[in-house]
Amino acid sequence: MGKGRVIAGFILTIVGLVLGLLGGLVAIASLTGLPVAIIGLVLSVSGGKAMKASGNPAGLATAGLVIGIIATVITAIAFFTCGLCVICAAGVSAAV
């Protein structure tokens, strides 16, 4: 039980990681990589918990989680900018 979700989650987190790394070359890749990685993470959590509850090993779920977290962090930080920078920059340009 949960094996299908674990496999799907593992694949999605790898795809998210690849898209996140490709985001260095193609900006749209990091935009799509983030939601893919997050969906992969959710599936890995859900499937992994189900497998553990039924007494099966959750090694693949663990691997999916590790890859998904790395993918999410890389994609999010490369894509999103710092705190109030958006407001500050807009304020400066409005003043100018």
Partner 1 sequence: MTDSFIFLGREIPLYGIMSIAGIIVSAVCALFLARKRKNEFFDLLCSSVYVMIGAFIGAKLLFIAVSFEDIIALGIPMENVINGGFVFYGGLIGGAMGLLIYIKQFHMDYGLLEIYSAALPLGHAFGRVGCFFAGCCYGIPYSGFPSHIYTETVGMTPLNVPLLAVQLIEAACLLVIFSCLLIVFLWGKKRYLTPILYIISYTTVRFVLEFFRGDKERGVYWGLSTAQWVSIVLFLSTCIFLLVRSVRNAEKVKEEDKKLVSDISSNGV
Binding positions for partner 1, rule: CB under 8 A: 23-25, 27, 38, 41-42, 44-45, 48-49, 52, 58, 61-62, 65-66, 68-69, 72-74, 76-92, 94
Closer residue to partner 1 in complex, CB, 4/86: 86
Q: The tokens of 42 are what?
A: 């959710």
What are the CA-CA distances from residue 40 to residues 24, 25, 54, 96 (Å)?
21, 23, 21, 45
Q: Of 4 and 59, which has the nearer Cβ to partner 1? A: 59
Q: Which is nearer to partner 1, 4 or 42 (CB)?
A: 42
What is d(CA 55, CA 71) in angstroms, rounded to the nearest whole number? Answer: 28
